[in-house]
Amino acid sequence: MKIGRPLKLRRTLACAAARVRRDFVRYGLALALVNAVFLPMAAPQALAETRILALGDSLTAGYGLGASEGLTAQLEKALKRKGVAARVLNAGVSGDTTAGGLARIDWALGDKPDVAIVALGANDMLRGLDPAKTEQNLDGILTKLKAAKVPVLLLGMRAAPNLGREYGGRFDAIYPALAQRHGVLLYPFLLDGVAAEPRLNLPDGIHPNAAGVAAIVERLVPYVERLIGAPRTAG
């Protein structure tokens, strides 16, 4: 009897160990099954981040502001607060004209954006350039974006009053005409509610400060949400 008990105990322990091994095998198979079924479902969400190209000048680049205060940074944060997974690509160059934007649009498209925001023309206006040439350059930019099947939000600009009524009328008409011609979304005036407001601008009176950018972004977000939901244009 003394010899049999250890033998019986060893057999009991062996059986228990076998059950544990079988349970681990079953658990491992179940875990593998869960990974196989659910991880591929989650992967597209991780890859669903919308890439937004912001092609513009100093107003886009964030002239005079910290890295987190500029238009692209604040817009990206505002979209994420609303649950929109987006990355805003800052393609703003201070001092750039529509001609400069047209010259670098092919390079900017190398970043493979899903949608684009075009915010150019302010420097053309400040230099008194011919509105017909400004319109021609913007038309070229929009044509290239359409060829790349990238939906566009066009941010309008308005002429300064000191340039005269005739110039102002020609310049201000550019953006609605282009939006209609190309079938793109239009935000009529980028500096709406901010222009000529000292508390919302840097000391130069031209460029928005961080608070001014926040005011712009608040108005702009609904348009960008519509842009993201817009169908990609046919080739």
pTM, two decimals, is 0.79
> Closest Cα to residue 126, out of 170, 158, 153, 82?
158
Residues 119 and 19 occupy one common structural domain? no
* 33-52 per-position pLDDT tens digit: 445 554 454 444 444 799 99
Residue 60 lies in a domain: yes
Residue 235 lies in a domain: no
Report the domain count for the chain: 2
Residue 211 CB partners (closer than 8 Å, separation 6+)? 199, 200
Residues 128 and 138 occupy one common structural domain? yes
Residue the block writes with tokens 């209609």 = 180
Residue 64 lies in a domain: yes
| pLDDT on residue 1 | 45
Residues 98 and 124 occupy one common structural domain? yes
Residues 187 and 219 occupy one common structural domain? yes
> Closest Cα to residue 96, out of 167, 180, 157?
157
Residues 39 and 53 occupy one common structural domain? no
* 56-99 per-position pLDDT tens digit: 999 999 999 999 999 999 999 999 999 999 999 999 999 999 99
Residue 56 lies in a domain: yes
The domain in which residue 29 lies consists of: 1-47
Where in the sequence numbering do the catalytic residues fall? 58, 204, 207
* 201-221 per-position pLDDT tens digit: 999 999 999 999 999 999 999
